[in-house]
Structure 1
Amino acid sequence: MGPPETVAALDDLASLGPFFAVETDPAARAGGIWRPLAALYTDPEPLRRRIVEVGEFLHTDEDRVAASLTFQSLSARVVAPPVAIAALHGVVAPLEPQALYWRPVPSGPWPLWTATGESPWPSVAPSQLVDRLAELVIERHLRPLVDAVRAQVGVAESLLWGNAASSLAAALRLVGEQRPAAVHTARALADALLGYGPLAGTSSTGPAGRFRRRSCCLYYRTPEGGLCGDCVFDEPPAR
């Protein structure tokens, strides 16, 4: 894909929802306080602040609950754009941590920005698409984010990978729902990625294609929380 097509593909992501959007306008980059996403995985201060903000917003004093739900949101944010591009265009967009910038906002998903550049996105053989996408999403984004969150709060690693699986499954389900022509590709990518590396064993898929995780994000432990649609529990555990 050449530069005109890559810009159009990135700009089109916003129509799928705010977790998919990636800004490309140089004026937007110049007009705000943007920080390298790669630094978020190594600098404890922004992540620590976000966990505190999430805890305050949800009125919970349980650090592991705030950390889990912070990770849930951030994992959805970094997973959604590349998996959508892969499902819709059959390529792996160069959305590595060092190529993305984020901007703090009071609530909602953090905005992301990337420079599109003049280089085309290389084509990927269908047989290599899952491996290339997994390298980007799991190894370059999710694994560093898991480590960064666990360095702040001692939340179970398996729980965080369950959150990541939920984020990935939800993103590809939304792609299929909003772009019916890509539904089969999106489902195939979800099935392949959910069996990859640390995501393997974190979930199951029922006969009707219903995704269900094998852990709980702990949202039920917030004052106004309940169970998510893909939760391992049928009823909230006693607190």
Structure 2
Amino acid sequence: QADLFEIAHLYLPGSQTADLPTEQYTLGVVSGHDFFVLKGVLDTIATRLGLREPLSYRSIGTADAQRARGLDPNRMVEVHAAGEWLGYLAVIDAALGKELKLPGETSVAELSIPGLLRHATLVPTQKSISPFPSIQRDLNLIVAETIRWADLESAVRAAVGGELAGVTYRETYRDPAKDGPDRKRILLSVSLQKPDATLTGGEADALVASILDGCERAVGAKLLA
């Protein structure tokens, strides 16, 4: 839920003191809810604009985060689309929130509108629906604690291509005694389907093998034995 939004021009300082500021058309959003609620708002905006890839969120370096006055450095991330920086998502620092007499936790975000539009599909195109059945497979992958779902999802999509009908996050589980420290398990489901024929079990196995190989190369994921 977004309680307040504004679309306006921002004037960003140049890299050199003598440089003229850069004018950027920007979407600003404020929510009286927590970080993850506003993240859901941004993801919904991306879906409605038809972004070709989901938004990704990356941690901001400690030094950069600490220079962002008024924002909680421990709850602040960069927002990217297909590797391009779009803006940030953060929670207002408790001290500033008290000074402004905010009623509770407040989350804020700013996104570059030109950046969003570069990745948007503003005129939806019709896609044919395959009349052939899909095959579902569940994969339980062990990854480093630092790996995010967006990273793993991107690796799955890159490994399969057009025969991937969908990929769904299920749950995250941690078992340091069996998997080691700083490791976690991510359970996901993939839906595999051909547009012009019935996918055989052997073909599905080959696609799953490609997914496992791609995830291992991209993020070091291992299939839980």
TM-score range, shorter chain: under 0.3
Which structure shows the bigger proportion of residues in strand conformation?
A: 2
Which structure shows the bigger proportion of residues in helix conformation?
A: 1
